């Protein structure tokens, strides 16, 4: 089975459907295929545009969903980016390729911290820092951020994440119910500290657990 050929076909399909719209995101997807970030038994399915299981009962998002969030984030080289919910490490690898600098990603499950670190090391990613912690509190030591990307569904927009955004910065986060359905919010922080929220429609993510998220 030619995993590379299957993956390239998926990427070009996403381009053809207008989901991947920038050459930068296309190149990042080709550099870090999803099959590098799943267990061996799931590699043959990594090109399929659906979520896949990863350890600890979690999932790695479908390629189209990852592409949508990255295109919304509009990442540029040199941006300071925080990811909440490392999972497999795949999204962080893509972010690192887009910003070309250090990326900070917070994961609450120790098993996934190790899983992501191993995946990133095998993929040759050297500028992603995986932190064990409560992602709903953000990561103050490296704030403020140009972009914060959250890969789990929250009951509301966590206040600490807004506080850790730069003026003009952007937060991409699913907000809604615990497991069934959320709306994908694009939150822009205005110079006066207030926020502007744009709803990009329905998504389905695992719950964001933590002090400013859902209870475990």
Structure tokens at 2: 């030619």
Residue 24 in domain: no
Q: Domain for residue 186, yes or no? A: yes
Beta strand 145-150 with 81-84: parallel, antiparallel or unpaired?
parallel
Check which CATH number belongs to the domain holding 197 and give it. Answer: 3.40.50.150
Predicted confidence band of residue 151 (pLDDT cuts 50, 70, 90): very high
Q: For 90-132, what is each residue's pLDDT tens digit?
A: 999 999 999 999 999 999 999 999 999 999 999 999 999 999 9
Query: What whole-number percentage of the chain has pLDDT above 70?
Result: 100
**What is the tally of structural domains in the chain?**
1
Tell me the CB-side half-sphere exposure of residue 92, using CA atoms within 13 A: 32
Which pair of tokens denotes residue 7? Answer: 């993956």
Amino acid 53: pLDDT: 97
**Domain assignment of residue 151, yes or no:** yes
- pLDDT above 80: residue 180: no
Domain, as residue range, for 137: 65-203
Mean predicted confidence (pLDDT) in 187-192: 96
Q: What is the number of other CB atoms lying within 10 angstroms of the CB of residue 24?
A: 18
pTM: 0.96
In a domain, residue 145? The reply is yes
CA-based torsion, 79, 12, 64, 18: positive or negative? positive
What residues are labeled active site? 61
How confident is residue 54, by pLDDT bands cut at 50, 70 and 90?
very high
CA distance 88 to 119: 7
- Across the chain, mean pLDDT equals 97
Residue 18, domain member (yes or no): no
Residue 186: how many CB atoms within 10 A of its CB? 17
């Amino acid at each position: 089975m030619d995993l590379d050929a299957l993956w390239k076909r998926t990427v070009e399909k996403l381009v053809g459907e207008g989901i991947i719209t920038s050459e930068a995101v296309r190149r990042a997807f080709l550099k870090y295929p999803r099959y590098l970030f799943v267990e061996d038994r799931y590699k043959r399915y990594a090109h399929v545009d659906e979520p896949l299981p990863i350890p600890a009962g979690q999932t790695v998002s479908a390629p189209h969903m990852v592409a949508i969030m990255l295109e919304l984030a509009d990442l540029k080289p040199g941006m300071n980016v925080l990811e909440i919910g490392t999972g497999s490490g795949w999204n962080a690898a893509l972010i690192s390729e887009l910003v070309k600098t250090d990326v900070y990603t917070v994961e609450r499950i120790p098993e996934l911290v190790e899983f992501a670190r191993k995946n990133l090391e095998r993929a040759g990613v050297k500028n992603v820092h995986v932190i064990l912690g409560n992602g709903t509190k953000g990561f103050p030591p490296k704030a403020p951020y140009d972009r914060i990307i959250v890969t789990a569904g929250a009951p509301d927009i966590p206040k600490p994440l807004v506080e850790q955004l730069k003026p003009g910065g952007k937060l991409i986060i699913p907000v809604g119910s615990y497991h069934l359905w959320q709306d994908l919010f694009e939150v822009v922080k205005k110079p006066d500290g207030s926020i502007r929220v744009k709803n990009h429609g329905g998504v389905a993510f695992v719950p964001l657990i933590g002090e400013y998220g859902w209870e475990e």
